[in-house]
Amino acid sequence: MALVQPRQSARERPAAFDLGHPAPWIVAIVALLLPLVSNSFFLSEIFGQTLILGVIALSLMFLAGCGGMVSLMQLTVAGFAGYMYAIFGVTGTHSVSLGWHWWLATPIALILATLFGTVGGALAVRTEGIYTIMITLAIGAAFYYFTNQNYAIFNGHTGINTISTPAFWGIDWRASLPFYYLTLVVAALCYFWVDYLIRAPFGLALQGVRDNPRRMAALGFHVNAHRVAAYAFAAFIAAIGGILQVWNYKQISPGSVSVDSAINVLIVAFVGGVGRPIGPFIGAFIFVLLRTFALDFLREIGLDGNRFRLLIGLGFLVIVFWSPDGVIGLWERWRRRGAPASARPAGGAHG
């Protein structure tokens, strides 16, 4: 069985952000007004972290949903960007940091992380299916152990601490309120960029490569070139999430790029659904809520709080079992059942 099943093409699907529907406007208004009813903890650790994790998982959604390539190195790319920002920027670990301003360290980190992801993608496109997962997982594991053991560049298991964050226009952008709006704007831009690219000629060609690479090659398309380009774009999106992650925590260590964390991104993407760009953000919100509150909930009912990962795993299995397209797939099926027969799409069920 294929890991990522063929889906409807972008032109056959309804608009992912229908401005005529009230739901997108409600979501936008709620997101803008959240600071009025939330404290700094919820803004940073719940909603801000949801947006950051959603951006990283968005890169996996693009590869898996549009290109049929399940990559486990997206968090590694994000972590690489975070490390590069810390190494080139201003930090409290003077032995490994160059001390450049954030506006110079940020684009350098993004460029290097994109190159890193592109090279990894060039290796991964030579394989298919489970072997793609294995090689990207191997890249992530190798980077984790390298950062854990290298002290000259990455400062070993201690990592790099007290990383500087942007401050301009008289605003400390790491403060909870400005940082929330910063992540909200960046996440929205990434969302619309991915949604546009899926419907652009490149995205349509990539979906053709996903569904029938031999036919696309016969039509004159360079299959591997499209796949490598997809990895490059996904790496840039993941790198943006990695920079935001470093700004959020002001530190980075090998634990940030561990294999467990890389698998968490896979869970986030598939729980939300890889069929729509909104899916990773839904999955990120569910994951962050479980990660934050499951431990206390288990203790309240008399269970070992350390088993909160078991609760996350069971939730992942339940959602994937009932809907291979995640939460967004459940929503679409429920919406189709409530629609008149004449209004249902002719293409059949999504996914």
Q: Is residue 303 part of a domain?
A: yes
Residue 61 lies in a domain: yes
Phi and psi (nearest 5°) for 127?
A: -125, 175
- 244 in any annotated domain: yes
Q: Residue 265's domain is classified under what CATH number? A: 1.10.3470
In a domain, 33, yes or no: no
The pLDDT, as a whole number, for residue 329 is 79
Structural domain contains residue 208: yes
pLDDT at 127 (0 to 100): 87
Residue 317 makes CB contacts below 8 A (sequence gap 6+) with none
Enclosing domain of residue 121: 39-343
Distance CA 129, CA 131 (A): 5
* pLDDT value of residue 177: 92
pLDDT of residue 335: 72
Token output for 2 = 């294929």
* pLDDT < 50: residue spans in the chain: 1-3, 5-6, 11-16, 346-351
What pLDDT score was predicted for residue 20?
56
Can you give the pLDDT at residue 232? Answer: 97
Task: Establish if 154 belongs to a structural domain.
Answer: yes
Rounded CA-CA distance 48/174 in Å is 11
Residue 323 and residue 274 in contact, taking contact as beta carbons nearer than 8 Å: no
Looking at the structure of the chain, the number of domains it has is: 1
DSSP-derived 3-state class of residue 244: helix
pLDDT of residue 343: 52
55/144 Cα distance (integer angstroms): 21
Q: Which amino acid is at 279?
A: G
Tell me which DSSP letter residue 15 carries.
P
In a domain, 29, yes or no: no
Residue 22 in domain: no
Kind plus residue range of the DSSP H or E element containing 167: strand 167-168
